[in-house]
Amino acid sequence: MRYGYARVSTRKQVRENNGLKAQIELLKKNDCEKIVQEEITGKTNTRPKLNWLLGQLTEGDTLVVTKLDRLARSVREGAALIEDLFNRGVTVYILDIGTLDNTPTGKLVMHIFLAIAEFERTLILERTNLGKEVARTKAGYREGRRPIDALKKRDAADLFLFHGKTYKEILNLTGLSSATLTRAVRARKDELAAREIEAQKNKPRK
């Protein structure tokens, strides 16, 4: 039997169909007979519906997900989960990678993509923490956090402008809508352009 698994991280993503709807449509197009969907953050290892699904899989079944990070964010957790499925005779199919098999090459591909997902998540967290540390050094700073959405949109725009990520990759990573990402990129460009103009004004004349 061919099973599909879709996951989003927040209630807001579920309400706005950001990520979840697209995942389910892709899983249906790839002939999944049963699709399990879950709303739970990738920061936790406790995913009841995924655990239930893993318990249903038997030899000859195929587990399909749109991206490897839907199953796990850390290399260690993901490798253990997938290797257990391999040992049980279950095939793992990732739509943006292909079939993962129990061979040295298949395991290498799996570890590489899990490492990339873990790195991207760590990069965003580090950038967020760095921004907070810089803010604390400025006059008039009051303890508290900026809206999460504002941080997410800025980081998403920077992934597109400075890190070579595609819109599709960023939308899958952040859960933002395409329209929100477009506005965030435009706002970030305007911010950078304003800084450049101000820098030119303040540049000493020869």
Could you give the residue numbers annotated as active site?
A: 9
* Residue 98 region by backbone torsions, left for phi larger than 0, else alpha for psi between -120 and 50, else beta: left
Largest CA distance in the chain: 76
| Residue in this structure with the two tokens 């020869």, named with its chain if needed | 206
In order of 37, 161, 162, 197, 204, the CA distances from 200 in angstroms are: 52, 22, 22, 5, 9
Rounded CA-CA distance 35/48 in Å is: 15
| Residue ranges with strand state E in 68-146 | 91-94, 98-100
> What span, in angstroms and rounded, lies between the C-alpha atoms of 143 and 138?
11
Residues 170, 157: Cα–Cα separation, whole Å: 9
User: Which residue, 157, 179, 159, is CA-closest to 17?
Assistant: 179
